[in-house]
């Protein structure tokens, strides 16, 4: 085979690396082997991935609950790795530097939202692990403007969940409002287990609601500072100032609305949710608000990484080898672990089978 790279380094010609790719929605990911390393275009960096978090959004992509982008998808947007190549014009980053790549992968920079500092709402934005190749892979390209420095106190597997669970959780937490003292977290998974710690350390009371009977998640919640943890179908022990919904269950919206006091907020943090059942207007009455959180801005990343560095947070990372990405997704769907799932993506160039199903791109 000839290598189609224009000017590949000798070592890169021989490289073989793998990614877990979704070729159609609703189908398991397939392990694919690639013969050449991706070359960073101007403004991009190539990253040798060491860990990638498994987010509920990945499940929504794989399960076809988000629109299909029209090409095979390598999921994963909680990427931790080291820069292995710099494209033209990249400044302020160096080979070997550890960085994180989040969900927001590119924005236009010129629309009304981008100019207002709300790039999370840019209608032309591209997202990592959906429109852009993600981190369920040994190597990935990223726009150099959208990578973060990571707090050194966290190892690679611990740092991965900060990049979405932490960041989106942080954005939802900020939206709860500075005056919210009693905060309910509905769905105690990767995001809630991080934000519970931030909230508790900042003097808020955390009430953790889990799937009925999920005593492992309830125990983790108490250990991380929740004053109360119980089943999501139980009544709230206190009227809440805000409720953050991390579970993709629309029926929790009216439940949470009944749990918040007048003036309180219900913040829906997921990208997808089952339909919200109808409910009587009096549950919303009293200036209660329902809001959603969409994506993140780079400023959210800077702010949250500073908080994560200061606290620091205890990260419950349940690790899987990259090749077991389907198992990790299944376990997330079934709620089989407490905390966050993380794929370990160490380069396996000595260990791969004969290349098959190689994708050339």
Q: How many residues bind Zn ion (CB under 5 A)?
A: 8
> Does position 22 bind Zn ion by CB under 5 A?
no
Q: Of 36-44, 79-87, 113-121, 259-267, which segment contacts Zn ion by CB under 5 A?
A: 113-121
Q: Of 22-30, 105-113, 242-250, 353-361, which segment contacts Zn ion by CB under 5 A?
A: 105-113
Q: Which of 59, 73, 122, 185 binds Zn ion (CB under 5 A)?
A: 122
Closest distance of CB 173 from Zn ion, Å: 15
Q: Of 116-124, 208-216, 318-326, 346-354, which segment contacts Zn ion by CB under 5 A?
A: 116-124
Closest distance of CB 112 from Zn ion, Å: 8
Closest distance of CB 76 from Zn ion, Å: 9
Q: Which of 93, 108, 121, 359 binds Zn ion (CB under 5 A)?
A: 108
180 burial via Cβ count (<10 Å: 0-12, 13-18, 19+): buried
Q: Which of 80, 86, 114, 176 binds Zn ion (CB under 5 A)?
A: 114
> Does position 55 bind Zn ion by CB under 5 A?
yes
> Does position 80 bind Zn ion by CB under 5 A?
no
> Does position 66 bind Zn ion by CB under 5 A?
no
> Does position 140 bind Zn ion by CB under 5 A?
no
Q: For Zn ion, give the closer residue by CB, 161 or 230.
A: 161
Q: Which of 45, 62, 66, 164 binds Zn ion (CB under 5 A)?
A: 164
Q: Of 120-128, 204-212, 237-245, 260-268, which segment contacts Zn ion by CB under 5 A?
A: 120-128
Q: Which of 48, 57, 197, 218 binds Zn ion (CB under 5 A)?
A: 57
312 burial via Cβ count (<10 Å: 0-12, 13-18, 19+): middle
Q: For Zn ion, give the closer residue by CB, 227 or 249.
A: 249
Q: For Zn ion, give the closer residue by CB, 85 or 185.
A: 185
Q: Which of 15, 33, 39, 111 binds Zn ion (CB under 5 A)?
A: 111
DSSP collapsed to 3 states, the chain: CCCCCCCCCHHHHCCCEEEEEECCCCCCCEEEEECCCCCCCCCEEEEEEEEEEECHHHHHHHCCCCCCCCCCECCCCCEEEEEEEECCCCCCCCCCCEEEECCEEECCCCCHHHHCCCHHHCCCCEEECCCECCCCECEEEEEHHHCECCCCCCCHHHHHHHHCHHHHHHHHHHHCCCCCCEEEEECCCHHHHHHHHHHHHCCCEEEEEECCCCHHHHHHHHHCCCCEEEECCCCCCCCEEEEEECCCCCCHHHHHHHHEEEEEEEEECCCCCCCCCCCCHHHCCCCCEEEECCCCCHHHHHHHHHHHHHCCCCCCEEEEEHHHHHHHHHHHHHCCCCCEEEEECCCCCCCCCCCCCCCCC
Closest distance of CB 78 from Zn ion, Å: 6
Binding interface with Zn ion (CB under 5 A): 55, 57, 107-108, 111, 114, 122, 164
């Amino acid at each position: 085979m000839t290598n189609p790279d224009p000017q590949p380094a000798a070592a890169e010609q021989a490289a073989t690396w793998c990614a877990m790719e979704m070729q159609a929605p609703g189908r398991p990911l397939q392990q694919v082997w690639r013969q050449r390393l991706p070359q960073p275009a101007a403004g991009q960096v190539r990253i040798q991935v060491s860990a990638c978090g498994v987010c509920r959004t990945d499940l929504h992509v794989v399960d076809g609950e988000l629109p299909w982008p029209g090409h095979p998808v390598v999921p994963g947007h909680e990427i931790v790795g080291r820069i292995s190549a710099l494209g033209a014009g990249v400044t302020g980053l160096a080979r070997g530097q550890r960085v994180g790549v989040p969900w927001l992968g590119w924005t236009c920079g010129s629309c009304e939202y981008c100019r207002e500092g709300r790039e999370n709402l840019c209608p032309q934005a591209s997202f990592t692990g959906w429109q852009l190749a993600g981190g369920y892979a040994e190597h990935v390209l990223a726009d150099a403007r959208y990578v973060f420095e990571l707090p050194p106190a966290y190892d690679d597997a611990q740092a991965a969940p900060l990049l979405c669970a932490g960041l989106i959780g942080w954005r939802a937490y900020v939206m709860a409002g500075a005056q919210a003292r009693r905060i309910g977290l509905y769905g105690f998974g990767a995001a809630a287990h991080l934000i519970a710690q931030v909230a508790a350390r900042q003097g808020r009371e955390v009430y953790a609601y889990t799937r009925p009977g999920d005593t492992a998640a309830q125990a983790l919640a108490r250990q991380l500072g929740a004053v109360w943890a119980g089943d999501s179908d139980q009544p709230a022990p206190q009227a809440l100032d805000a409720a953050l919904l991390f579970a993709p269950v629309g029926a929790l919206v009216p439940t949470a609305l009944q749990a918040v006091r007048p003036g309180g907020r219900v913040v829906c943090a997921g990208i997808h949710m089952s339909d919200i059942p109808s409910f009587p207007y009096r549950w919303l009455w009293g200036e209660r608000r329902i809001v959603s959180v969409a994506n993140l801005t780079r400023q959210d990343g800077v702010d949250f990484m500073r908080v994560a560095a200061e606290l620091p947070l205890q990260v419950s990372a349940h690790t899987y080898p990259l090749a077991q990405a389907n198992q990790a997704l299944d376990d997330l769907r079934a709620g089989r672990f407490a905390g966050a799932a993380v794929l370990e993506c160490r380069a396996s160039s000595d260990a791969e089978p004969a290349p098959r199903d190689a994708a050339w791109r």
